[in-house]
Amino acid sequence: MRLRQLVTLTVCVHAAFTGSRMLVSLYAIHLLHASDFTVGALLSSYALLPMLIAVSAGRLVDRSGARWPLFGESAAVALGTLLPFVWPRLEVLFVGSTLIGTGFMMCHVAVSQVVGGLGRAEDRAANFSWLALGFSVSSSLGPLVTGFAIDSLGYGYTFLLLFLFPLVPLIVLWRNRSPLPRALSRQSAGGVGHVMDLLRERPLRRVLIASGLLNMAWDLYTFSMPIYGSRLGLSASTIGVVMGSFALAIFAVRLLLPIVIRHVTPWRVIIAALLVAAAVYCLFPLFPNVPMLVALSCTLGLGLGCSQPMVMALLYNSSPSGRQGEAVGVRTTVMNASSTTLPLASGALGSALGIRPVFWAMAAVLAAGAYFVRRHRNR
């Protein structure tokens, strides 16, 4: 299976994932009259179980390959989008969110391990750029399809529409059973190690810290924009357009990444992304109109979009041989720890004080993180 096929399968799963996050938030707000805290708990359920099992998932992929994990995650995402259509209740939303989040986590770990094993080491950043480009397509496709489907079909049938996306990888993986590329086996790399051995690797630890900060910025946008848009009185399709502009900007910047990576070091890109995100979160509450929301979303997308391929290339290159999947699992644990706690904390703070302190607190954290990463890198 070639890189373009893997990217296409990933787009299908990720579109269902991103679309469902927006759909679950708006469904809970408008039909179930959920509070910000309840919406935060729903979005946290996407990440709670993945946070606990991501390292084990990475070890499974290192040991047995990526085919059956990819098949299983597609089935989990399909089931998670179908259940709320069949039983439209709040508790079912929690179950569906958990299935979708866990399924996408497995997809991310498995595909990252396979893409990292393709080609030469010097091609790795470019390969991850193409994968990231696929993620940007699905990040735009999911919210856009979801927003217009809600306004035209209603919430229930939008869940059914998202159910169709993960069926594509299920069919392709079932029919195409050719072997997927794999990294060096764990046994040939010297046996099984403990996860703390990975965290003792200073270059890998720096990458994980930077990755966690960038993921916080991404998570807050995904969580806060449906709520913020609803409070401003925007329709579901308008919110989808705003969030879709974020993803389109990511797509645009990733088109240029294969050229950019020849001239700029990965750490410079990561520090710049942290500073851009901090500036955008300072400005979000000051310009509550659609044109400025689109402009700021595009700016945030440009900043965050160029950082992920750099993080993945640095992560893969910093990982011990035979433990790349496990290293991706550790990063996924860090990401899902953010995705679990950030919506809950932001929802509680937003319910008590409003959305502005949430945005400004994130801006301060990102600015401090950029300073810390820059200083730590120079050491």
CB 180 within 8 A of CB 65: yes
pTM for the full predicted model: 0.69
CA dist list (Å): 57 to 17, 60, 63, 210, 323 = 18, 5, 10, 22, 12
Element containing residue 302 per DSSP (H, E): helix 290-305
CB 285 within 8 A of CB 362: no
The pLDDT assigned to 373 comes to 78
User: Residue 204 has which token pair?
Assistant: 């890998």
The pLDDT assigned to 275 comes to 93
CB 315 within 8 A of CB 288: no
Amino acid, res. 82: L
The Cα 176–Cα 156 span in angstroms is 32
Q: Can you list the domains of the chain with their CATH numbers?
A: 3-177+195-378 (1.20.1250.20)
Kindly give the confidence (pLDDT) of every residue in the chain, 379 residues in length, as a single tens digit, with 9 standing for 90 and above: 577 888 888 899 999 999 998 899 888 887 777 777 788 788 888 888 887 887 787 777 777 777 778 888 889 999 999 999 998 888 899 999 999 999 988 888 888 777 877 766 666 767 777 887 888 788 778 888 998 898 898 888 999 999 999 999 888 888 876 656 555 444 444 445 566 667 677 777 788 888 888 888 888 888 788 888 888 888 878 888 888 888 788 888 888 877 777 777 778 888 899 999 999 999 988 888 899 999 999 999 988 888 877 887 777 777 776 676 677 777 777 777 777 777 777 777 776 777 788 888 889 989 988 888 777 665 5
Rg (alpha carbons) of the chain, rounded to whole number: 19
CB 109 within 8 A of CB 73: no
The pLDDT assigned to 182 comes to 56
CB 336 within 8 A of CB 54: yes
Q: What angle do CA 137, 139, 141 make, to 5 degrees?
A: 65
